Structure 1
Amino acid sequence: MAKHLLRSNEHQSLDDIVAFRLDMVDGVTLLYQSVSQYERFRLMNRQELQAQKQARLMELGYQTTFSVLSAIEAVLKLDYDQRVINRLKDPLSREFRKLHKSKGHRILLEDDILANWQLHYQNAASVIQPLIKAFRFRHWLAHGRYWQPKFQHYDFDDVYILADAVLTQFPLKN
């Protein structure tokens, strides 16, 4: 088992994701304002064009929501790694080192990382429970959306607020 996580340094920041989302919303909006220039739109009426534009924007929302949740997972796993590598002495870091001895980097985000954050930082609990629910939505997105979900759908703004809370309220070490 590798002692340390080999980092790709390709994880996205929330600012990167927000900028991408804004660029893509602008791009979709501009595309549907100039449909007469494109052959593929010639046989569509106004209602069909509007429905397709809304579908594209919804898909963009799903994709960027997924990206935000993935970015938060990366932040939390990098924090775990830093606490283990630097042998920090706080109770959460000690628990993470115990987990690392038994599981290495095969830790589970919800069962290992978030559960321990909730245990050791009581003020984090108000963010962790909604975050765990949002990760259920991410699993649905990641696995093809083929089943009818029995949980809340999240939009970009919902998960951005959660992600921002993690970044500003948690004493992260990365």
Structure 2
Amino acid sequence: MDEIAIYHTDVETALFDFFSGTSQALLDRYADVGREEARDRSLAELDYSSSLAVLSSVEAAVRLDYLRRAYDRWRDPLSKAMRKVYQRKGSRARLEEELIYLWGDVAALPKVLISGLLGAFQYRHWLAHGRYWTPKFGRQYDYVTVFIIAQNFICEMDAYNAAKR
């Protein structure tokens, strides 16, 4: 996730530099459109793509952890619960309904964190499926919000794993 944060900051800075400059490409491409409006649209797209990347990283971390628990046969309660899921579903366990649920229920991660993460995944579904409907998330999501939720979740995962080994 650190690489995503660095990339996001680099591209954001580049967009501000580009739209404040006088390059011929800028002048040609946005002659009929206000530069601030075009810049804001570009920044919004960056926000969407960075949010998607962060949430994809969280999914990868959860799924890798799940498979590690299934294969390595750890003895903590979360690993045992995940092995039961693995016996039924193998690598096709459902991310939100099974794996993240177990992190909240068995590992007892804070409910507010789990609900925030589940909401962020609803935001990801909206992003990934074309943004063609009007979302009803119950709160605003943006890159910063998603990053903070994801970072907090990964830290809690790491803390749980460190305590149970």
TM-score of the aligned structures, taking structure 1 as reference length = 0.85
What is the total number of aligned residue pairs between the two structures? 158
State, as a whole percentage, how many aligned pairs show the same letter: 34
1:112 aligns with 2:112: no
How far residue 26 of structure 1 moved from its aligned partner, in angstroms, is 1.4
Following TM superposition, the consecutive aligned residue runs of length 4 or more in structure 1 with deviations greater than 4 angstroms are: none
In 2, Cα distance between equivalents of 1:24 and 1:42? 19
Q: Which runs of 5+ in 1 are unaligned?
A: 1-13
Residue aligned with 2:73, SS: coil
Considering Cα pairs closer than 8 Å and 6+ residues apart, tell me whether 1 or 2 has the greater RCO.
Answer: 1
Structure 2 match to 1:32: 19
* 2:39 pairs with one of 33, 41, 53: 53
Structure 2 match to 1:144: 130
Residue aligned with 1:105, SS: helix
Distance 1:107 1:53, change over 3 A: same
Checking the alignment, whether the CA contact within 8 Å between 2:30 and 2:38 is kept in structure 1 is no
Distance 1:42 1:135, change over 3 A: closer
Checking the alignment, whether the CA contact within 8 Å between 1:83 and 1:96 is kept in structure 2 is yes
1:91 aligns with 2:77: yes
TM-score of the aligned structures, taking structure 2 as reference length = 0.89
How far residue 164 of structure 1 moved from its aligned partner, in angstroms, is 1.2
Tell me how large the CA RMSD over aligned residues is.
Answer: 1.6
Checking the alignment, whether the CA contact within 8 Å between 1:84 and 1:97 is kept in structure 2 is yes
